[in-house]
């Protein structure tokens, strides 16, 4: 029996992940692109950073249309 998930959202919470954010977003994106059970997806980056994570996440969201960036004013603890 084949199961198909029509839509999926992946939430990626971040706090000061400038060294790994681009690599990890690409890995998630590539996996979902290859996954036969997923037809449509989005990757939501929920950011609480004080480093360059926001700039890197915004840049990759321009390249990969499924990546969405959102910033929250209060840092996570």
- pLDDT tens readout for residues 22-62: 999 999 999 999 988 888 999 999 998 999 999 999 999 99
The answer to whether 10 touches 28, Cβ cutoff 8 Å, is yes
Domain count, the chain: 1
Residues in CB range of 68: below 8 A, 6 or more apart: 42, 43, 44, 45, 61
Q: Residue 52 domain-assigned?
A: yes
- Stretch 9-22: mean pLDDT: 96
Q: What is the pLDDT of residue 9?
A: 95
Q: What is the pLDDT of residue 74?
A: 59
Q: What is the DSSP letter of 36?
A: T
Does the pLDDT value for residue 1 go beyond 70?
no
pTM of the predicted structure, to 2 decimals: 0.83
Q: Side-chain half-sphere of 38: how many Cα atoms within 13 Å?
A: 17
Distance CA 62, CA 51 (A): 19
Q: Residue 77 domain-assigned?
A: no
Q: Residue 59 domain-assigned?
A: yes
Q: Residue 31 domain-assigned?
A: yes
Q: Which domain range does residue 25 map to?
A: 5-11+19-71
Does the pLDDT value for residue 70 go beyond 70?
yes
């Amino acid at each position: 029996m084949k199961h198909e998930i029509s839509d999926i959202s992946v939430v990626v919470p971040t706090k000061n992940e400038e060294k790994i954010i681009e690599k990890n977003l690409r890995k998630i994106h590539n996996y979902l692109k290859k996954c036969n059970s997923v037809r449509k997806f989005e990757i939501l980056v929920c950011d609480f950073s004080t480093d360059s994570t926001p700039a890197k996440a915004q840049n990759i969201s321009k390249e990969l249309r499924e990546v969405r960036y959102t910033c929250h004013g209060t840092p996570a603890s």
